[in-house]
Amino acid sequence: MEYEKTNDPLVSSQRFYIRLANSFGVTLLIVGFSLALGTAGYCYFGELEWVDGLLNAAMILTGMGPVDRMSTTSGKLFATTYALYSGIAFLSMIAILMAPILHRFLHKFHLEDD
């Protein structure tokens, strides 16, 4: 996504809302990929049913914590890796969602300063 430069005029509200929608869409893609990855991993490594794998993936991704206890070593290693990945994914999603808002605020503040 390309933003306007310091000397460029502020983009229209419509263009700003399109940027917000694009950011939201990218975030949904990250959520979908992360849930698919987590569900597949919990099913394969943790030997869970797909619904239980999805539940665990969603709970870890949102920071709530696991639901089912992993009984296999590979399941425990996957859960550890997925928890670390989820923390990074969550922070990335927040950054992607906030980027257009913060950019508009800073750009508008800079234009008012001139």
Measure the CA dihedral 87/89/92/97, to 10°.
-110
- pTM of this prediction exceeds 0.75: yes
Lowest mean pLDDT among 5-9, 41-45, 52-56, 68-72: 5-9
What does the domain layout of the chain look like in residue ranges? 31-113
pLDDT (tens digit, 9 = 90+) per residue, 89-105?
A: 999 999 999 988 888 88
Distance CA 12, CA 76 (A): 49
> Residue 113: what pLDDT?
53
Q: Which CATH architecture has domain 31-113?
A: Orthogonal Bundle (1.10)
